[in-house]
């Protein structure tokens, strides 16, 4: 249980997080997120005192846990930690509290800044002890010492690991959560400060950036009533002037989409540029027009956006460690496939995902096979609901759709569609065996990729650039090049190719995320997965 509960802490020492750059690349330039974080994003992990002269009797730990029994779940970790330090004080140096003690205390006492609406154990006692200790000089206090260490473990459990696996599974999140060796973390934690890595919160990088925007949006909500913007019934065209234009500009300015004059009444090029950026961040058609969809997105209450940020901060806590290899990531609400090598984004493309009634599952798989000119084995549910009624309505339906019956099972015909350009899977599919029967594939219905909302499939994921994906997966594999891929795709004969290097595939669900340009994005909750998790967060009922 200890290994599972504290596995997130180790990530700090590994220095990278899973899918660290799936929707935001790590760069050196200063960003809006950097500015938002500066001055309040105090760090605490791995920053203990290196002194060894001041020590205490190990019996003090048992006395402390008897007085504060809610920390008994951390007894093993506390004892292991101090045994490795030979029971030297970790939060005092020269009798004074080190800076990180105040940082930890501030974060424990302000858990809502972490998107957590549940109190850590003994917050009042921590506050009182810190106040009393601040007036003392050159005198380490064992109660303060052990309270800080216990709070450190409690905080890391809540803020860096998040709610337990029962909660994530109830939220239909089946991406496996990381498993790390807690003892390895402690070994690294006890190294000399100069040998430790730079301090950073041990969670997927999206968490830190979303946390910065959580603070910004809470500040906006406290200052602005966010009343609905009403566009005249006649509409507003580019080049028009209107009294509502300054209101629109002021809102876009507050949301960091407009950087200029907010008082001008004209629908000028500066406003068009700002509207396009806003539309892009919200997954809308990017045309620069103040249409119905754009105005509706501008009018979404800030409290609703704050809830979206909170939910996706929690999801970020669940993500496993990064992989130093090729991997694929699909963000369902974004309708995007992202192709990565380690932390470098190679390219992205549009995808079509499952309809609300046939949702694509949030899970992890390992891509093992590329199948050229595939058959499509029609799922029994589609045979029952769609094919059989169509057969009754129209003779010759099977031949017209290049289908054939290969047998019967459980009273249903077993039907498959022949390889070729009309095949529903297109000219290639990509298999990562899983119990959900979900895979990536080509499609003959190319027009759907131009839609802004692309939830049309029966659950599988249609890829806009299947040729590019096939070449990416087979790069360096002996006997394969772009020409051979093209021939295999149009051969009309099914061919399985086993990948020499298996590729992880992560199907994720983020309705708020930071993109490559360090801009906050929102997407619709197409599968209605946010509400239940939001309720657990805000009510503090989620188990940790």
445-473 residue pLDDT tens: 999 999 989 999 989 999 999 999 999 99
Q: Which residues are catalytic?
A: 441, 460
Q: What is the DSSP string of 367-401?
A: EEEEEES--EE--HHHIIIIIHHHHHH-TTHHHHT
Beta-bridge mates of residue 505? 328, 365
**256-274 b/e (C-beta count within 10 Å ≥ 16 → b):** bbbeeebeeebbbebbbbb
Tell me: pLDDT of 354 over 80. Answer: yes
Contact 154, 71 (CB under 8 A): yes
399-447 residue pLDDT tens: 999 999 999 999 999 999 999 999 999 999 999 999 999 999 999 999 9
- The SS3 assignment for 237 reads coil
End-to-end Cα separation, the chain, in angstroms = 12
pLDDT score for 42: 56
Contact 167, 542 (CB under 8 A): yes
Greater model confidence, 192 or 174: 174
Domains and CATH numbers, the chain: 2-216 (no CATH), 227-300 (1.10.101.10)
* Angle at alpha carbon of residue 15, lines to 13 and 18, rounded to 5°: 115
Contact 152, 12 (CB under 8 A): no
Q: Can you count the helices (H) and strands (E) in the chain? A: 21, 17
Task: Compute the distance between CA of residue 168 and CA of residue 530 in angstroms, rounded to an integer.
Answer: 11
Contact 326, 475 (CB under 8 A): no
In this prediction the pTM is 0.85
536: enclosing H helix or E strand: helix 530-539
pLDDT score for 322: 62
Strands 336-341 and 344-354: antiparallel
Sign of the torsion formed by the C-alpha atoms of 498, 499, 502 and 503: negative
Greater model confidence, 27 or 275: 275
Tell me: pLDDT of 76 over 50. Answer: yes
386: number of Cβ within 10 Å = 13
503: enclosing H helix or E strand: strand 495-508
493-533 residue pLDDT tens: 999 999 999 999 999 999 999 998 899 999 999 999 999 99
What φ, ψ does residue 498 adopt, rounded to 5°? Answer: -85, 125
SS (H, E, C) 21-55: CCCCCCCCCCCHHHHHHCCCCCCCCCCCCCCCCCE
Query: Lowest-pLDDT range, 83-97, 132-146, 416-430?
Result: 132-146
Q: What is the DSSP string of 263-297?
A: S--B--HHHHHHHHHHHHHTT---S----HHHHHH
Query: Which residue from 315, 285, 274, 298 is spatially nearest to 22, judged by alpha carbons?
Result: 315
Contact 473, 339 (CB under 8 A): no
pLDDT score for 48: 77
pLDDT score for 45: 52
Task: Round the CA-based radius of gyration of the chain to a whole number and report it.
Answer: 27
pLDDT score for 283: 96
Q: What is the DSSP string of 415-446?
A: EEEPSSTTSTTTTEEEE---TT---EE--S-G
15-55 residue pLDDT tens: 333 343 434 433 333 444 444 444 444 556 556 788 888 99
pLDDT score for 44: 62
pLDDT score for 495: 98
Greater model confidence, 157 or 71: 71
352: enclosing H helix or E strand: strand 344-354
Contact 491, 372 (CB under 8 A): yes
- The SS3 assignment for 497 reads strand
- The SS3 assignment for 459 reads coil
Neighbouring C-alpha atoms within 13 Å toward the C-beta of 363:
17
Task: Compute the distance between CA of residue 507 and CA of residue 523 in angstroms, rounded to an integer.
Answer: 16
Query: Which residue from 330, 318, 311 is spatially nearest to 459, judged by alpha carbons?
Result: 330
The beta-carbon contacts of 29-35 under 8 Å, at least 24 apart in sequence, are: 31/518, 32/256, 32/518, 32/519, 33/209, 33/212, 33/213, 33/514, 33/518
Mean pLDDT of the chain: 86
Beta-bridge mates of residue 497? 370
Strands 455-457 and 428-431: unpaired
């Amino acid at each position: 249980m200890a290994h599972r509960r504290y596995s997130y802490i180790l990530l700090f020492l590994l220095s990278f997080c899973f899918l660290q750059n799936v929707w935001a690349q790590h760069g050196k330039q200063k960003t809006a997120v950097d500015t938002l974080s500066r001055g309040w994003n105090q760090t605490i992990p791995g920053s203990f005192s290196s002194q060894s002269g001041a020590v205490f009797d190990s019996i003090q730990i048992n006395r402390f846990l008897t007085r504060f029994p809610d920390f008994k779940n951390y007894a093993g970790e506390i004892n292991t930690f101090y045994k490795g330090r030979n029971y030297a004080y970790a939060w005092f140096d020269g009798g004074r509290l080190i800076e990180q003690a105040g940082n930890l205390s501030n974060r424990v006492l302000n858990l809502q800044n972490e998107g957590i609406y549940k109190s850590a154990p003994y917050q009042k006692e921590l506050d009182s002890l810190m106040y009393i200790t601040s007036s003392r000089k050159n005198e380490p206090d064992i109660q303060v010492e052990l309270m800080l260490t216990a709070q450190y473990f409690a905080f890391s459990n809540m803020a860096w690991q998040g709610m337990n696996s029962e909660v994530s599974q109830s939220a239909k999140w089946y991406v496996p959560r990381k498993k790390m060796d807690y003892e390895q973390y402690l070994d690294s934690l006890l190294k000399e400060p100069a040998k430790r890595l730079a301090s950073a919160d041990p969670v997927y990088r999206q968490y830190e950036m979303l946390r910065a925007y959580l603070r910004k949006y809470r500040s906006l909500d406290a200052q602005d009533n966010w009343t609905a913007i009403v566009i005249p019934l006649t509409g507003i065209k580019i080049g028009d002037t209107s009294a509502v234009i300054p209101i629109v500009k002021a809102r876009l300015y507050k949301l960091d989409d407009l950087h200029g004059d907010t008082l001008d009444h004209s629908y000028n090029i500066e406003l068009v540029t700002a509207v396009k950026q806003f539309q892009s961040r919200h997954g809308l058609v990017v045309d620069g027009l103040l249409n119905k969809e754009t105005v509706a997105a501008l009018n979404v209450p800030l409290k609703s956006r704050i809830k979206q940020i909170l939910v996706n901060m929690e999801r970020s806590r669940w993500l496993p460690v990064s992989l130093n290899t090729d991997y694929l990531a699909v963000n369902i609400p974004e309708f995007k496939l992202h192709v990565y090598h380690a932390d470098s984004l190679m390219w992205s493309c549009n995808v079509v995902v499952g309809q609300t009634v046939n949702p694509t599952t949030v899970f992890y798989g390992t891509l093992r096979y590329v199948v050229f000119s595939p058959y499509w084995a029609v799922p029994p549910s589609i045979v029952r609901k769609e094919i059989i009624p169509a057969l009754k309505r129209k003779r010759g339906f099977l031949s017209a759709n290049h289908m054939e019956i290969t047998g019967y099972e459980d009273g249903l015909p077993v039907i498959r569609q022949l390889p070729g350009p009309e095949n529903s899977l297109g000219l290639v599919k990509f298999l990562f065996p899983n119990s959900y029967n979900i895979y990536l594939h080509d499609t003959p219905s190319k027009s759907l990729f131009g839609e802004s909302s692309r939830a049309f499939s029966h659950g599988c994921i249609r890829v806009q650039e299947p040729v590019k994906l096939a070449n990416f997966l087979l790069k360096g594999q002996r006997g394969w090049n772009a020409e051979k891929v093209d021939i295999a795709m149009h051969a009309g004969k099914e061919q399985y190719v086993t990948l020499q290097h298996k590729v992880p595939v992560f199907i994720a669900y983020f309705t708020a995320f930071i993109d490559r340009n360090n801009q906050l994005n929102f997407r619709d909750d197409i599968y209605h997965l946010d509400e239940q998790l939001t309720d657990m967060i805000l009510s503090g009922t989620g188990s940790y």
